[in-house]
Structure 1
Amino acid sequence: MPQNPIPSRRGLLFGTAAVSAGALLTACTSNEPKETETTEKTETTGDQAPIAGDKPGKAVTIGFAGPQADHGWLNAINDNARSRAKKYDDVTLEITEGSNDTAAQIGQVQTLINKKVDVLVILPADGKALTQIGLQAMREGIPVINLDRVFASPQAYRCWIGGDNYGMGLNAGRYIGERLKDKADAKVIELAGVDSLELTKQRTQGFDDALKNYPNIKKVARQAADFTVESGQAKMAQLLQAQSRFDALWNHDDDQGVGALRAIAQAGRKDFLMVGGAGAKSAMDAIKADDSVLKATVLYPPTMAASAIDIARAVAQRKGIGGMSELEIPASITLYSAVVTKANVDQYLPTGFS
């Protein structure tokens, strides 16, 4: 799963996570005339945000390199990039197979540099390890759009766009806090992601900071899983055994949440509410059905990959962002971590990933 810059480097906050940066780029990135706009929706590619605006520009070749799609969210990242690129007659997308091996991914990016693509979009398997290849591309005059997992140096990219891990935890905590604010001696537990990842630390920190505003709520347990169904089920079973009573669960990831829900069902527990994270379609379906403990999920939208394609095209064609006075693309764009509940799930379902 992704890592984003520390909170002090959050750039431009979008008002909603479901609509990608394409909505903000409406005045500068489209080759679809307004009278032929479409609002056709799909489950995984964020196509609910219509592309509208200017005429086709110069032909642009975008190189896209990401890690291996071994997780639902990462697979949705690739789908979003491909889908958005197809919207543009003036964009050719060169996409790599993806690898979690940093040396292999560096080699893939080097190949794209050798092909002299106009702009690169890179979601690094390891931001620090791939910083040098980002610096090389920038030195050779190829702008880099750094997607989500941040490079170690801002000189390695022209624009960073990604999710808000701290904001995920913060908004999960606020939602739970508001639901439990009138309950005396409320208890919550946390099913985190991979503790070695900075993103996990940020999600936990945001959650803990939110709970500071609710003195009646105490976090009584935390268990780290591995972003898989199997780990979610095993770690959740341990939490349920150890905690006979609690009022809410914050689960960092909807993929491991599938396993967590299995463990909860097997234990016959219905005495608490659960908040997930990322925005999987399975989670949104469960929220809409309202037949389980899962009542909300906090988005970490894979539509950011579609937005990265929009931004890459605009940078290559030397365009700015519609609706902003500046002539240049911002240096940093942080997406908002919206909370999806039964009240608004229909709005966000088209962005849910499998």
Structure 2
Amino acid sequence: MRMSLAPRRAVAALAAVLLAGGMAACGNSDTGTDEGGSGDGKIVMGFSQVGAESGWRTANTNSIKEAAAEAGIELKFDDAQQKQENQIKAIRNYIQQKVDVIAFSPVVESGWDTVLKEAKDAGIPVILTDRAVDSADKSLYKTFLGSDFVKEGRLSGEWLVEQMKSATGDVNIVELQGTTGSAPANDRKKGFGEAIAADPKLKVIASQSGDFTRAGGKQVMEQFLKAHPKIDVLFAHNDDMGLGALEAITAAGKEPGKDIIIITIDAVKDGMQALADGKFNFIAECSPLLGPQLMELAKKVHAGEEVPPRIETEETTFTQEQAKEALPNRKY
């Protein structure tokens, strides 16, 4: 049976509508113009986060999402689950989507030149947040926003040197490193090592990655305690690993903060509470609240303005009494 002309036209029209709808559903909301962007004048930012490995990272993610909403910036967010290949894939997706700005916190320092060059060739500015890369070509990104990790390690080591001035005999230190190859792990280790070199009796007897997680910190600390009968100090590259280590230390019948001095970095609420309770002894701060500064930088680089190549966040350190004072107003 042949279909009359009118129904055939109706079917064709319906097919066209469905095709257009299907294309819109499969596409991205930021491809509305040939120039890329949102099509409604909004800046579109593609952001690739390391993961959700710690309380610090969760606070950092929340800060970025909230600041983007407040700044009127459309945020395309990706969680790399601590895998570099996931971040590279996300950045390439952002390039294909023609976002206005790409920002990311690199899982590790090395191996970014190829994908960063792809972004540069596409005319999309890149901002590094929290963690740096070791690319020799500094033109591959516009700026770095974050902390001085070497300084954090150095401040931790200098505090320990001061505390151990009157100690006699060797002081045995174990170190819980962050993710292998990451900028904070490399730099905090370096800064701490340089600082304690001022006192020959301060000796790092074991150093291993706990991958910035509580579970990792607990597992590695259990190994340290079994292998080394005399541990005087724990230096953990972040609060979460230190909090995991607390469990292992307590289970081993030792008193954290007294039998083993504990130094950590970050100053998230749980870590600050442990410090206030005397279970930690010292924390060097690393603020995760980078969102507002990141959005301001995004607006500037999108507008073609010059920005400093490195912007550091203002941070401090905490002892037990200082933690007690700061805790009631702590935002993260």
Name the TM-score class by shorter chain. Answer: 0.7 to 0.9
Identity across the alignment (%): 24
Which one of the candidate residues 36, 47, 71 is aligned to 1:64? 47
Aligned-pair distance for 1:102?
Answer: 3.7
Aligned-pair distance for 1:312?
Answer: 1.4
Counterpart Cα distance in 2 of 1:349 and 1:110:
42
Structure 2 equivalent of residue 117 of structure 1? 99
Counterpart Cα distance in 2 of 1:306 and 1:278:
19
C-alpha RMSD over aligned residues? 2.7
The number of residue pairs the alignment matches comes to 284
Higher helix share: 2
Which is greater in Rg? 2
Question: Are residues 1:332 and 2:310 paired?
Answer: yes
Aligned-pair distance for 1:172?
Answer: 0.7
Question: Are residues 1:214 and 2:199 paired?
Answer: yes
**Residues 303-342 of structure 1 aligned to structure 2 (within 5 Å):** 303-318=289-304, 328-335=306-313, 338-342=316-320
Structure 2 equivalent of residue 156 of structure 1? 140
Counterpart Cα distance in 1 of 2:60 and 2:313:
14
Query: Unaligned 5+ residue runs, structure 1?
Result: 1-57, 320-327
Distance 1:306 1:343, change over 3 A: farther
Question: Are residues 1:284 and 2:272 paired?
Answer: yes
> Quick check: 1:68–1:74 contact (8 Å CA) kept in 2?
yes
Question: 1:178 is matched by which residue type in structure 2?
Answer: E
Which one of the candidate residues 123, 134, 139 is aligned to 2:116? 134
The residue matched to 2:321 in structure 1 has which SS?
Answer: coil
Question: Are residues 1:108 and 2:124 paired?
Answer: no
The residue matched to 1:128 in structure 2 has which SS?
Answer: coil
Aligned-pair distance for 1:208?
Answer: 1.8
Query: Unaligned 5+ residue runs, structure 2?
Result: 1-40
Counterpart Cα distance in 2 of 1:269 and 1:276:
18
**Residues 224-239 of structure 1 aligned to structure 2 (within 5 Å):** 224-227=208-211, 228-239=213-224
Structure 1 equivalent of residue 63 of structure 2? 80
Q: TM-score, normalised by structure 2?
A: 0.75
Counterpart Cα distance in 2 of 1:349 and 1:149:
32
Question: Are residues 1:91 and 2:73 paired?
Answer: yes
Counterpart Cα distance in 2 of 1:220 and 1:100:
27
Which one of the candidate residues 169, 191, 199 is aligned to 1:185? 169
Aligned-pair distance for 1:189?
Answer: 0.7
Deviations 1:205-249 (A, max 9, x none): 21121112234x321522313233233223223333444445432
Distance 1:59 1:113, change over 3 A: same
The residue matched to 2:199 in structure 1 has which SS?
Answer: coil
Counterpart Cα distance in 2 of 1:223 and 1:127:
20
Distance 1:124 1:190, change over 3 A: same
Aligned-pair distance for 1:277?
Answer: 1.9
Question: Are residues 1:174 and 2:158 paired?
Answer: yes
Question: 1:283 is matched by which residue type in structure 2?
Answer: G
**Residues 291-310 of structure 1 aligned to structure 2 (within 5 Å):** 292=279, 294-310=280-296
Structure 1 equivalent of residue 34 of structure 2? none
**Residues 19-38 of structure 1 aligned to structure 2 (within 5 Å):** none
Counterpart Cα distance in 1 of 2:328 and 2:102:
30
Higher relative contact order (CA 8 A, sep 6+): 1
Deviations 1:279-320 (A, max 9, x none): 232111111233x2x12222232223543233212322455x
Distance 1:349 1:84, change over 3 A: farther
The residue matched to 1:87 in structure 2 has which SS?
Answer: helix
Deviations 1:71-94 (A, max 9, x none): 433333321210211222x42222
Question: 1:339 is matched by which residue type in structure 2?
Answer: T
- Of 179-188 and 96-105, deviating more is 96-105
- Of 154-163 and 124-133, deviating more is 124-133
The residue matched to 1:344 in structure 2 has which SS?
Answer: helix
Question: Are residues 1:144 and 2:130 paired?
Answer: no
**Residues 189-268 of structure 1 aligned to structure 2 (within 5 Å):** 189-194=173-178, 196-199=180-183, 200-215=185-200, 217-227=201-211, 228-268=213-253
Question: 2:127 is matched by which residue type in structure 1?
Answer: I
Deviations 1:317-343 (A, max 9, x none): 455xxxxxxxx3101123456322223
> Quick check: 1:224–1:235 contact (8 Å CA) kept in 2?
yes
